Structure formats: structure tokens, C-alpha cells
Amino acid sequence: MARVSYAGPEFDPPHPRRSPLRRTLVVALAALVPGALLGWVAYEALGGSGDGGPDRGTGAASSSQASPSGGPGGTGGDERPGASASPSGTASAPAGAGSLKGRVVVIDPGHNPANAEHTAEINRKVDIGTNRKECDTTGTSTNSGYSEAAFTLDVAHRLRTLLERQGATVKLTQDGDRPYGPCVDERARIGNAAHADAVVSIHADGSGTGNRGYHVILPGAVRAGAADTGAIVGPSRDLGKLIADDFGRVTGSAPSNYIGDGSGLVTRKDLGGLNLSTVPKVFIECGNMRDSKDAALLTSGAWRQKAAQGISEGIVSFLRG
């Protein structure tokens, strides 16, 4: 049988006798400990030592430098276009915000989602200086049916957000708010009437499979009829080169492998939107919608945000001189 022990009041072992001095010390400690605890609580409530040690707040909001928005790791289609964040995760203004105050940028989203429903109107010929040309076209699309007009309008909205955050005044030639067009001559007049510091017409190409990459179209020297590009050829080339460089860097795309000799720059004299412009203006063909690899990029919201960021950085560099 196991041995069972029991200690009750009558069986407690005798305790050694404590001295009067020990009893005095115990009483003193019992009085001091609560006071010390109360002091520590008050100390912490007032902010501690205030030296900002690890994970310790200082009791005041600290400022943080805004991280640059966009870039190769820019926001995707589901994020707020152009947003940047501070290290603490709070939204902050992009570097240089407000630096374009007083500058005017016109964005020209190529074609119009409703052009296909107004073929008679868009086939009407208009004067482009060197000759007469159709008012507008329907544009191209990917093999899966994503239209160039939808692409250009989406990139235009993202670009507008980025530029407005830099302080620029931004106008669109169309915002899906008209039945068709505008015609190419009117697109030029919109930029002229706004006295724009820069105009960018956004497009995507419809070339053959295997043709990939982007290119920027510059105005050639034209002086015929209502067209006279003499004053804008130089600044437009500066604008176009900056956009081409920044677009390639931010998106990671290569310049066109089928036009422009690898430079990403092409000069044309047959586009009314350029011929009739009196302010610096370029077109950008962001990629080839008929190539499956380029189409995968053009249909990605994240990539379109990078495209807008690249165009924006080129415009900002141009306007800052």
C-alpha cells in the first residue's frame, strides 16, 4: 500500500522563530513595493525616457519621406493610379508634387469606343494640310477582342491622375463622352486652343504576329495648306525622345523590332493630328495588339499603370526642362 501523507493544522512542521529585525524588514519592503510599482506606471504613462528606443513611440507624429510612385514595381490595375506610400504605409504625395503648377498637358486617347457604330461619320474626309484623310478610324484590337479604344482611354485616365498629382492642368480630347471621334483635325485644334505645353496621343499598333515593342511618332517638317510644323519639330522630338526612354525603362519593354531601326522613334508627315498641331505633340504606339506576347501586356492593368507612369515621367522631364 502506498504511503499517504497528510499535513493539516495539527501536523504542520514547526516553523523556525523569526527575529524582530527580520519582521521589520519584511514590513518595510511590503510598504515600498506598491509605491515603486505606482511610480513605474506613472513613468510609462508620461512617455518613458523619451529617447525613442526600439519600438517606442516618441509621443509625436514623425514625418517620413514619400517613396516614388510607379516605376517597374508600380501599382497594378486594382490599386489607386499613381499612389505612393510612406514607410508606415500611409498615403503620401509623390516627390515633386505641385512642380507642374501652371503647365497644361493634353492627352489624346486614340479612336473612340463608339466609332464602329458611326462608320459614315468617321469615314468623312478632313483636311490634314498635305491632303485629305478619314476623320478617324475604329482602331485595332487584340485577337481576344480587347479594343485599342478601350486601351487608350484606360491609359489616358491613369496618366491624367499621375500628371494632376504633379500639379499639371490636364485635358482629354475625348473621354468616351461623345458619339464618335473627334476627327483628327479637331484633335489637333483641341491641343492648340488649350495652348498646351505638351500633347501626347496614345495608341496601340495592329501589326503582324512577331512584331513587338513600342515606338514614338514625331512630326516631320511640313508646310502645306493649314499645316506648318516648323516651330514644333524640335521640341516635339525632345518630348518624344524623353517619353521613349522613360517608357522603355519603366515598362521593361523594348523599342519596336519592326519600325524605327531599334531607336523607338519614327518621323511621319501623314498624320493630321501632328501636321495641324501648333504645340509640341507626339504619338506613342505602346505595343502591338496583334502579337500574343505584346497583347498579354496591353491587357494587364498592372502593365498599363507602368505604361502611364513611363509616359508621365517623360512628360515631366520635358516640362521641367
| Catalytic site positions | 285
**Strands, E assignment, the chain:** 84-85, 91-92, 104-109, 125-127, 132-134, 169-172, 198-205, 215-219, 223-224, 227-228, 265-268, 281-288
Type of residue found at 234: G
Beta bridge partners of 218: 267
227: left (phi over 0), alpha (psi -120 to 50) or beta: beta
Q: C-alpha dihedral over 89, 90, 96, 100, to 10 degrees?
A: 130
Q: Contact 192/277 with Cβ under 8 angstroms? A: yes
